[in-house]
C-alpha cells in the first residue's frame, strides 16, 4: 500500500468525526437495509465508521454483521466495540474487484474516497452492483484558519496538490472527490444526497489541530523545506499554544441509493 495511516491519527480524529458527520444520512442508509444487514466497511482502519453506525443501528434495534476491509492488518487488529465482524485484509488499489461483496447488503466508508481516482471509483461502483453506499467525511475543500496568515494561500495550493497525488489508485480525486463521486454515482443510476460535514476545530481539539499543522506543513514541504512554510508552522503552533486559533476542515458525506 502506498498510503498508510497511524492508529494514533485515527484515534485523534474519531471523536471529531462523530460530531461532524451527518446523522440524517447515516439513518437514511440504515433505513434502506434489511433488519439485520451485513455491511461492508471499506478502508475500515480501526473501525471508527463501523462503531458510529453500530451505535445508531443498536438504538434502532438492528444487529449488524460487519465485514471490515483494509490493507493494514495492524489497524484491523485494533478494532474494538463491534459485537459481530469478519475481516478481509486486502490491498484493493489495483483492482476493486478483490473486495468481497458476497452477501453484503450495503457498503460504507469514511475518510477514504479522496484517496482514489475517478476511474478507480467508477470500477468500484460497478463492483458493488447497485448496493446502497454511505461515504462519510470525504475531504472537500481547503482549510479556513482564524486568524488568517499571509502564507495560508500558498499552503492551501500545496496541500490541494498533495491531496491529488497518486496513492496507488491513480491520480487521486483529492479535494474534488465529492463532486467526482456524485457524477459517477449519478451515471450509474444512483440517487445521491449530500451534506456538508466540516470539522470545526479550536483549542479544545489541540492535539488534532497540532497534528493538522504538522501534516499540512509536511505536505507543503514535500519537495523541500521552505523558510516561509517553517515560519507558518511556528506561527500556527504559537497560536495554538496561546489558545488563539480556529480551523475549519471541509468534508462532505454522500448517501447513494439505487432505486
Residues that bind ligand SAM (CB under 6 A): 1, 3, 5, 10, 43-45, 48-49, 70-72, 75, 91-93, 110-112, 115, 168
Shortest Å, Cβ 67 to ligand SAM: 13
Q: Which is nearer to ligand SAM, 37 or 71 (CB)?
A: 71
Give dist(CA 209, CA 230) in Å, integer: 16
Shortest Å, Cβ 153 to ligand SAM: 26
Give dist(CA 134, CA 169) in Å, integer: 20
What is the 3-class SS of 30-71, one letter each residue? HHCCCCCCEEEEECCCCCHHHHHHHHHHHHCCCCCEEEEEEC
Q: Which is nearer to ligand SAM, 66 or 232 (CB)?
A: 66
Shortest Å, Cβ 248 to ligand SAM: 19
Shortest Å, Cβ 131 to ligand SAM: 18
- 54, 87 in Cβ contact below 8 A? no
Q: Which is nearer to ligand SAM, 94 or 200 (CB)?
A: 94
Q: Which is nearer to ligand SAM, 108 or 185 (CB)?
A: 108
Stated as kind and residue range, the H or E segment containing 139 is strand 133-146
Give dist(CA 73, CA 88) in Å, integer: 9
Amino acid at each position: 500500500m502506498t498510503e498508510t495511516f497511524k492508529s494514533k491519527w485515527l484515534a485523534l480524529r474519531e471523536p471529531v468525526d462523530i460530531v461532524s458527520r451527518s446523522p440524517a444520512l447515516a439513518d437514511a442508509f440504515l433505513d434502506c437495509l434489511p433488519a439485520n444487514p451485513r455491511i461492508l466497511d471499506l478502508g475500515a482502519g480501526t473501525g471508527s465508521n463501523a462503531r458510529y453506525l453500530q451505535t445508531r443501528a443498536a438504538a434502532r434495534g438492528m444487529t449488524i454483521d460487519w465485514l471490515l476491509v483494509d490493507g493494514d492488518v495492524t489497524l484491523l487488529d485494533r478494532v474494538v466495540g463491534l459485537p459481530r465482524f469478519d475481516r478481509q485484509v486486502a490491498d484493493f488499489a489495483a483492482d476493486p474487484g478483490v473486495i468481497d461483496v458476497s452477501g453484503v447488503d450495503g457498503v460504507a466508508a469514511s475518510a477514504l474516497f479522496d484517496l482514489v481516482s475517478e476511474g478507480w471509483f467508477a470500477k468500484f461502483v460497478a463492483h458493488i452492483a447497485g448496493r446502497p453506499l454511505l461515504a462519510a467525511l470525504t475531504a472537500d475543500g481547503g482549510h479556513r484558519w482564524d486568524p488568517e496568515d499571509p502564507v495560508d494561500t500558498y499552503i492551501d495550493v500545496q496541500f490541494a496538490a498533495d491531496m491529488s497525488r497518486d496513492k496507488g489508485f491513480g491520480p487521486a480525486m483529492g479535494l474534488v472527490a465529492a463532486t467526482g463521486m456524485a457524477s459517477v454515482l449519478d451515471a450509474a443510476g444512483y440517487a445521491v444526497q449530500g451534506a456538508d460535514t466540516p470539522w470545526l476545530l479550536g483549542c479544545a481539539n489541540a492535539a488534532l489541530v497540532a497534528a493538522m499543522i504538522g501534516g499540512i506543513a509536511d505536505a507543503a514541504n514535500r519537495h523541500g523545506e521552505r523558510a516561509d512554510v517553517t515560519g507558518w508552522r511556528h506561527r500556527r503552533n504559537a497560536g495554538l499554544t496561546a489558545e488563539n486559533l480556529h480551523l475549519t476542515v471541509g468534508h462532505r458525506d454522500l448517501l447513494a441509493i439505487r432505486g
